[in-house]
Structure 1
Amino acid sequence: MKLRESKPALLLVDLQKGFDDETYWGGNRNNKDAEEKASQILAKWRSLNLPIYHIIHSSQDPNSRLHQSHAGFEICDQVKPIDGEQIIIKNVNSAFIGTNLKEQLDTEGITNLVIVGLTTNHCISTTTRMAGNYGYETILIDDATATFDRIGLQGEKYPSEMVHQISIANLKDEFATILNTAQLLKTV
């Protein structure tokens, strides 16, 4: 059975221009082509007329690159929404909190989700965990997500790839099936 038969929704989470400022977010971003991978998946979803949801983070901090007054609030050019695609604006890490995403998915009878976007250890992890907790069959696309270096409590530096891989490992099997873009495109 092809994945498309289950009418999976694609959630494009926080693919916004504000993440282009690597220094602001901690530097040394991994998966620098995550947006391109996401655009390949988006093109496939559009060609199959499958449900698409663009999730946008609207920071309440006026200094944030993701505040509505900042140019970084805009969705990246590679994955710009077109007419008919849902746009959900959130203010916290989860795409489900303070939004009507779950209601929209349930109204459409959607039980399968594919998640891509930024950043792996924040909004991707939180949204994926909640999707799993709500009972959605969730697929997280490893190479269409990314994060940045993090600084620990004692000032130690954690490289972005390590943060990403640990975040993915924490989600694997319990909350989501982990695939890369090529694997997903073969199964859909």
Structure 2
Amino acid sequence: MNRALIVIDVQESFRARPLWATTSDLKITDQVNRLVRLARRAGDLVVWVLHSEPGTGDVFDPALGHVRLMEELERADGEPLIHKTSHNAFTTTNLQQLLTERGIRELIMCGIRTEQCVETTTRVAGDLGYRVTVAIDATATNPIPHRDAPADQSVAELLADPRTLPAEEVIRRTEYALAGRFATITTVDRLEAAAGLPS
């Protein structure tokens, strides 16, 4: 098969942040696991991506132990695991080489955060000529503070600020930005139905 599922940053780092409580889908691993099972049944490659910021001392610093797949996920033997240090999964990794060597031209994207690493990876993949599908309900994100909000704003202050962009709106804007330009937007149910599987 010339298709791959790219699972982006579904890692414990996010759960280690106070902001996790505001995440649009606290059970994102359920949706990701459905996609992983679907990919494996179809014989597609599953590629796991983790975000890493060595030496920063924050939750993305591998030294703290949070840069690992969320515990509900299980990587099978032989499935690539790559570590990126940029927002997209291509620039600082060998992802393109890995896909080229396997003749893969079609990608399905899922992961955290919808508008950041998932969207950025999708845009780069589109520019590289891949046919990309985003399983939008297998992505998650958080509310985004206004550009003028204080950098040290607490979660409570973020949620109380009327200028904050809600997570659902972030996801909706990503759908509009990507659809028809960089990717096809779909859902896990639709992908399962297309494969002839009950949702």
The aligned residue for residue 134 of structure 1 is: 128
SS at match of 1:36: helix
Detail structure 1 runs of 4+ shifted over 4 Å in the superposition: none
Residue 22 of structure 1, CA deviation: 5.0
Q: What is the alpha-carbon root mean square deviation over aligned residues?
A: 1.6
Show the 5 A alignment for 1:1-188. 7-24=2-19, 28-60=22-54, 62-155=56-149, 156-188=163-195
Deviation at 1:79, TM superposition (A): 2.2
Q: Deviations over 1:152-185 (max 9, x none)?
A: 1233211111112112211111000000110011
Q: Could you say which structure has the larger radius of gyration?
A: 2
Match of 1:3 in 2: none
1:63 partner SS: coil
Q: Which amino acid aligns with 1:145?
A: T
Q: Does the CA-based 8 Å contact 1:33-1:144 persist in structure 2?
A: no
1:73 CA displacement: 0.8
Task: Determine which structure has greater relative contact order: mean sequence separation of CA pairs < 8 Å that are 6+ residues apart, divided by chain length.
Answer: 1
Residue 72 of structure 1: SS of its match in structure 2? coil
TM-score by length of 1: 0.90
Give CA-to-partner distance per residue, 1:95-119, whole Å, 9 cap, x none: 0001111011111110000001000
CA contact (8 A) 2:54 2:63 kept: no
Moved more, 57-66 or 117-126: 57-66
Distance between the aligned counterparts of 2:10 and 2:64, measured in 1? 15
Which 5+ residue runs of structure 1 have no aligned equivalent?
Answer: 1-5
Q: 1:159 to 1:61 in 2, by over 3 A?
A: farther
Q: Aligned residues, how many? A: 182
For 2:75, the aligned partner's letter is P
Displacement, 1:33? Answer: 2.5
Which structure 2 residue ranges, 5 or more long, are not aligned? 150-162
- Tell me the SS of whatever aligns to 2:90: coil
